[in-house]
Amino acid sequence: MPPKNKVATKPKATESAPATITTTTTNPTTTTSTSQPASQPSEPTTVLERSQHRYEQTRPFEAARRQHGLSKLSKEDQKGWICDQLLHLTDRLPAASRSRLLGPKASKEIWWTINGTNSIVRGLKYKHKSEPHTTWGTDRDGHDVGSYSIERFDERTKKRIALTALQVSSRVFRENVEREKRGYVDARSGQEVIVTEREIDEEKVRRSKMAALKKELYGEITGKLASSVEWEDVVPIPHEEPEGALAAIAYPAEYAEAMSYLRAVMSKKEYSPRCLRLTEHIIAMNAAHYTVWLYRAANIFALGLSIPEEIEWLNEVALANLKNYQIWHHRHLLVEHYYPTIASDPTALAQFAKQERDFLIAILSEDTKNYHVWSYRSWLVGKLGMWEDEEELKSIETLIDEDVRNNSAWSHRFFLVFSNPKYATPGKGATERDEKVTQELVDREVKYAQEKTYLAPQNQSPWNYMRGVLVKGGQQLASVQGFVEEFVVKLGEGEEEEEVRSTHALDLLAEIYAEKGENEKADLCLRRLAEKWDRIRGGYWEWRRKCLTKSAKVVEEETEKVEAVAVA
């Protein structure tokens, strides 16, 4: 190990170690002016090393004892060490108690020795190895700043100074904002304090710098809101939850911050543009947040903002969140609010209806059976009175043409045709007959369903539709017997002969036979369904068969009763 003799050091000192640290006990200062060659063979590379180094330089006796042990030191060094210890032990005491503790004579001797050794009175404290970190603290990654290289540390210090300077300026700015609010008059200029646009802009820049520095230095993420001038006056309400709460989510910092501001503004029932922006911010992170959506609507209504603009914004959000349903209730609220303003203007109403339909067509092309979209659509038809709108029916037909199995489209058609308040009896159940429904309408719809059935006979949608239409129109199911029988060939005439192209046809055929009192035929249909064509529903077909015998019994009983009465 090459000793790194810097100054006037005595080469022997290094060579004679470990016996003594100082060859000249009379002048141990020489040691302090040099680095301790034995223990510090090289330039410190880290901050920690440098402080160790400095410690040893300021406390030569202690350093020597640590290295060699007290007993190996020369008498003079031992004395120097004792004085040094006493001095540092009593260092923190007030002068008066110090002298009381040691007595004037002892004090004097200590000081004499100290002066004689030229020792440094203000030595550094020692860092114990057991301590996890040095007094330098940790950085954003949890690393000990003490392990930094000197250059890196200096860099860091510069940044800290810059941050402090920014914080001071920022505090001045905030004070001025406060003063402006209170109408404070500046004593020197005699004018009211005014925060100019430029100052605000400067502060914005300052805050983003501060946030960047804080993040760099301490890994502290200053949320967008906390560093924003706009949210200056709001005291956020942080998420409160006890330790060990169930299903607790490790919220991303940005979300947690936004929510704490939301709680604050909601509790004050604030409605403002910034609240609107806050809701947008949260929705972007969690679109399934019903509270935020309702609060957003409340803001829009309170501020009297443009509904069409909001709807335009909503279209984007809806396309990005296809499975979300809060969006659709929000839209519902918007339209409820908007409707009265256009209700008396047929052109505006028609235009709005068209716009809405265009968007609905667009979103349904992405997700053809989206339940929430269809729910909204049926509500909209009622709200805007789109019953007679040919385009509505046409666009449903387009969807059915694209996918004849789209049951949502079939359901909407049923609603469109049979809930039209122009002729539908209000309060009629969907599976009930409505006397006001015309034969013409029933024929048209039955024909439509039948045409679509031919495309794919096992597709249940048109079968359900047709049956629904017949019931609505109060028509016998038997009126479509011919059509139904097209799909069932030679039933019960042997495995080879029998052909069923649609189990739904067979099901309806059973109903038709039952309706006509031809229970045996009905039973055959149901039996064949259970045995062969639709075995998964065996239990259901069995029940249907029981219902047949039952209704037959009821009929019998009733006939008997009637006969009995007649006889009486």
Partner 1 sequence: MVVRTKGARCRNRAIFIRKFPKQKGNMAASNPTSRPNLDAITDDDFEYVDEEFGSSYSPDQVQPQPEPMIPDLFKQPPLVKDDLITDTSRLQDQTVDHCLPFLAGEDGPLELNDYGLPRLNREKHVKFLKQSLGPLPGRFVAMDASRPWFLYWCLSGLTMMGENVSSYRESVIATARTMQNESGGFGGGHGQLSHLATTYSVILAIALVGGEDAYDVIDRKGMWKWLCTLKQPDGGFQVCMGGEEDIRGAYIAAVIITLLDLPLDLTPESPAYDGGRSNLLTGIAEYVRSCQTFEGGISSQPNNEAHGAYAFCALACLALLDNPRRVIPSYLDVPRLVSWLSYRQYAPEGGFSGRTNKLVDGCYSHWVGGCFPLLEACLGSSGSGSKEKNRTATGLAAAPETLYSREGLIRYILTCCQDQTKRGGLRDKPYKMSDAYHTNYVLSGLSSAQHQWDLDSDPLPLSEGETTPTMAALGADSIWNVFPYIDDNDQIYEDSDRVRPIHPAYAIPQKNVAGIKAYFQGRSGFA
Site for partner 1 in 452-471 (CB under 8 A): 455-461, 464-465, 467-468, 471
d(CA 87, CA 110): 8
DSSP string, 259-297: HHHHHHHHHTT--SHHHHHHHHHHHHH-TT-HHHHHHHH
Least separation in angstroms between CB 504 and partner 1:
9
Q: Which long-range contacts (C-beta less than 8 Å, at least 24 apart) are formed by 263-266?
A: 263/236, 263/237, 264/234, 264/235, 264/236, 264/237, 265/234, 266/291, 266/295
| 259 counts as binding partner 1 under rule CB under 8 A | yes
d(CA 280, CA 314): 10
Scan residues 47-76 and list those touching partner 1 (CB under 8 A). Answer: none
Q: Which is nearer to partner 1, 176 or 406 (CB)?
A: 406
Q: Which is nearer to partner 1, 38 or 417 (CB)?
A: 417
Q: Which is nearer to partner 1, 242 or 304 (CB)?
A: 242
- At residue 500, the 3 state secondary structure works out as strand
> Which of 315-324 are b and which e, b meaning 16 or more Cβ less than 10 Å from the residue's Cβ?
bebbeeeeeb
Radius of gyration of the chain (CA): 45
Least separation in angstroms between CB 312 and partner 1:
22
For residue 418, with 0-12 CB atoms within 10 Å meaning exposed, 13-18 middle and 19 or more buried, which class applies? buried
Least separation in angstroms between CB 549 and partner 1:
7
Q: Show the CA angle centred on residue 433, arms to residues 429 and 436, nearest 5°.
A: 105
| 235 counts as binding partner 1 under rule CB under 8 A | no
Least separation in angstroms between CB 495 and partner 1:
11
Least separation in angstroms between CB 400 and partner 1:
10
Scan residues 513-552 and list those touching partner 1 (CB under 8 A). Answer: 532-540, 542-543, 546-547, 549-551
Least separation in angstroms between CB 363 and partner 1:
16
Scan residues 131-160 and list those touching partner 1 (CB under 8 A). Answer: none
Q: Which is nearer to partner 1, 13 or 526 (CB)?
A: 526
- Given the rule CB under 8 A, which of 125-133, 196-204, 279-287, 515-523 is the region that contacts partner 1? 279-287
Least separation in angstroms between CB 186 and partner 1:
41
Scan residues 316-345 and list those touching partner 1 (CB under 8 A). Answer: 329, 332-333
- Given the rule CB under 8 A, which of 26-34, 167-175, 251-259, 340-348 is the region that contacts partner 1? 251-259
Q: Which is nearer to partner 1, 48 or 505 (CB)?
A: 505
Q: Using an 8 Å Cβ cutoff, are 318 and 362 in contact?
A: no
Least separation in angstroms between CB 249 and partner 1:
5
**How many chain residues interact with partner 1 (CB under 8 A)?**
93
Least separation in angstroms between CB 326 and partner 1:
9
Residues 6+ apart with CB under 8 A from 397: 413
d(CA 547, CA 527): 13
What binding mask, one character per residue, do residues 392-431 give for partner 1 by CB under 8 A, x or -? Answer: ----------xxxxxxx--xx-xx--xx---------xxx
Scan residues 479-508 and list those touching partner 1 (CB under 8 A). Answer: 500-503, 507
Q: Which is nearer to partner 1, 183 or 244 (CB)?
A: 244
Continuous H helices in 322-438: 326-342, 346-366, 371-384, 390-402, 407-418
List the one residue out of 134, 10, 12, 30 whose CA is nearest residue 76.
Answer: 30
**Of these, 217, 237, 302, 350, which contacts partner 1 (CB under 8 A)?**
237
| 387 counts as binding partner 1 under rule CB under 8 A | no
Least separation in angstroms between CB 508 and partner 1:
11
Scan residues 282-321 and list those touching partner 1 (CB under 8 A). Answer: 285-291, 294, 297-298
Q: Using an 8 Å Cβ cutoff, are 109 and 136 in contact?
A: no
Which helix (H) or strand (E) segment holds residue 489: the answer is strand 488-489
For residue 394, with 0-12 CB atoms within 10 Å meaning exposed, 13-18 middle and 19 or more buried, which class applies? exposed
Q: Using an 8 Å Cβ cutoff, are 327 and 314 in contact?
A: yes
Least separation in angstroms between CB 507 and partner 1:
8
Q: Which is nearer to partner 1, 35 or 407 (CB)?
A: 407
**Of these, 375, 450, 479, 481, which contacts partner 1 (CB under 8 A)?**
375
